[in-house]
Structure 1
């Protein structure tokens, strides 16, 4: 996502578009050139918390930092003193890996201040309107109110499909795996073409089908930067509607599609929908990739060399150490 800004005010107005929601009490890293990830973390308010932020950022920034790397540190908080301490602490740590930070910016809902030059100003609706218009013209949806609102958008009415699952399982058992596989891929391609929401019967059948790893892997292989938008729409809807026992696959496919499409925050929110009790290797792989700050372009580049989804997954896993124990969401959102 490219955003053109010409002032501090416009830079602040662009931040919600980077993550799909409006951050509050947050620290944001905004790179001035391609390569480094855009990151949001909860604003650290103690030295222990600042140490924890660096622990979560050192690997992804060390992975991508190149000579001359430059980022802005933006603190969005009502407490300017916390912004001063957190941004100065992070600046010194970034400099240790040759990332320079020429801008430390503090803002609350109404005003902003450059913490180095002490230049300050008001946050204006005019700047928000200009950036919103730029993003709408580029085909981007407007951001929602908060990360919690984004997470809530993935939880819907799951009872209708829950009631259909016994009959859907019986129908699936009476069919055969190749037939269900073929139906799933045909239904997926039809959704790419028309974008119509699946009715409850088709949704139940699709959720059962992708709970089979070979079927899920063929769907996974269909996700690319070209198809990410329609996959996000499909798997967002099915994650909202899926009962616990069939939600791991759609939620993880949504996480992958969001990541490939450049929406790291939604990728994390989707992983939060994988039921905690489930051990799901694809979700662990996504968690590891997001934690390490892997750029989606790395996956896209590998698809030109490796054409089998399992080879691609193994290749990515070799470069990462997947988290052990229950799935969890670490601090950074990229």
Structure 2
């Protein structure tokens, strides 16, 4: 099972000159488009090259403040600029997060000959905005590494979040974003993996491996343990498959925790409907019927890695629901 690797992530107080792509914002202030996060030097270079300010160039090529919009512009020295819509000028961390993701996805879509170095210039000053920019950018770089013998092509080599704040809080925000994004990408990888590769046994093994080195206690119950424990429902759902069910329990119990959170995730690695067989259209996406378990397990790892003072006990019920002579019947 091949996992997606996050691009390198750094924080800088100025836009790096060697960036292949610079992502900047377009917002709306009193009905007028304004640039967000554009370094003066970049604006000056654009004016020198094209004979007009960056805002005029961007507007001329269709850039606007509409959230979700992206416009690719030519930059100096063969680089690319990507304008992303931010909506109203008083932007929130979530708007920045989404815009950064849109910008990096647009950069990945350029199909460059080599992995790109991307700078995120979205006027990130406050730690929550820095975190949003970093997290969005890393998630925007995600692509599923398909199960094949070919080496995956890396689109984004690195992400630099530009922030005028050199405070320790900003650097901590970067590290938090990296941890959260890694967990989200892990969950995405599990959801995207075909069911002939990710089934209860391999899912449980992957879950255990994902938290190696953390302070999470892991327990995995196989078929025999499930029978002894009286887990009839899970055994019934997985009874028609050649791949036996599993129950995975994560327990994170930090010293000083004052709250106890319980999470439960559905981990049906493929749901045919059993003897009540689904139609082909209804069955096609059923490899993702384990997304709840993926989210719960990845979230628990994130909480542990961030060292949050809350106890978390998570359960992921894993089974493959298949039709066969051993499948449970509607009247059982």
Pick the TM interval, shorter chain.
under 0.3
Q: Which has the higher strand share?
A: 2
TM-score (structure 2 length as normaliser): 0.23
TM-score (structure 1 length as normaliser): 0.23
Q: Over alpha carbons, which structure has the higher Rg? A: 2
Q: Which has the higher helix share?
A: 1
